[in-house]
Amino acid sequence: MNKIITFTSWFIVLSFTTIMGVSADEIVLKNGDKLTGEFVQLEEGTLVFETEYAGEISIQSDQVDRMTTDQPVVITFDDGKTSEDKVFFGRLIDDDKRLETAPSTGGVSLSTVKSIYKEPKPPIQFLGRANVGITSTKGNADTDQNRLDAELIARTEQQRFTIGGAYNREKADDDVTASNWKAYGLYDYFFQPKWFFNANTLFEHDEFADLDLRSTFGAGVGHQFFESDDLNLSASAGISYIFEDYMIAENKEFPAAQWLVNYDQFFFNEFVQLFHSNNGFISLENGSNWKINTRQGLRFPIYKGLITTLQYNYDYQNEPSPEAESKWDSTFLFLLGYQFGN
């Protein structure tokens, strides 16, 4: 009886061990290296794989020879359709760029695959961020600075909505030395996986540039070069119409060519994120009337959505109001913020 119990116990242990041993996903690289762990995603030519010994690692898909998963994963194609059968076995073959699946479907062309995820993406993905910077100095010189900014991005398969704004006010010895704000909205419609039409609006106020309100309404076409959790890069160009209401100078309105560039990328296993954005316009009536706004810096995730940001802003207008104090503004910022998303 004891032998039967012992045999049964060992059988259960060995069976459990065997199951655990085969339950891991596996990739084999072209150089023969083999990794076991958990498949996370394959998108934009990058495969993300999580291991117990190194956490999440990113591998270029053209360096992968074989990939197997022990649980179903979801293929999303460029036309927006999602595989119903899901994927049990994948093999990335360099010569014909085909992805084989199990149960066998004869394979699909990897060039038609937009992404592969462990689970389906939510129908609406969103990312929100809010930052605050407040400084107050008392003593020989009394200075106060208040800075707030926020942005929310919502993304579906074919559409992207972006809204945001910023507010900045500075005082030195009870004298206001800076007072400005802006609010913006952007809508992108993806008519192709990488190409989109956009419509945008921007409202700006700057007391020391004699600007009561600049209203910009534009539309154009853009290209999404990269779009993933780790790397995003897009650029667009188009036509806009601009209304400039000044406090003292004569008001203006004119058509203009405009551009928008947005870039961000994580480095060192998401230790730091580099970002850059710029937008600007050139008047179609007067080529010397042009303006550019840039935002660049580093974001450091701290803990559960808390982030710190080191940011440099540079704005330049070649023909500002004659009452403006300068053609350019330059600001260094240290901000504390919160980021959320799905």
DSSP letters for 81-100: -B-SS-EEEE-B-TTT-EE-
In this prediction, residues 244-259 reach a mean pLDDT of 96
Most confident of 59-63, 87-91, 129-133, 172-176: 129-133
Distance CA 240, CA 221 (A): 12
pLDDT score at 14: 45
Which pTM was predicted? 0.74
Q: Which helix (H) or strand (E) holds 11?
A: helix 2-22
For residues 207-228, average pLDDT: 95
Min mean pLDDT across 7-11, 107-111, 243-247 is at 7-11
Q: Is pLDDT of 147 > 70? A: yes
Q: Annotate 141-165 with DSSP letters as a single string.
A: S-EEEEEEEEEEEEE-SSEEEEEEE
User: Hey, where are the domains in the chain?
Assistant: 2-117, 125-341
CATH superfamily of 125-341: Nucleoside-specific channel-forming protein, Tsx-like (2.40.230.20)
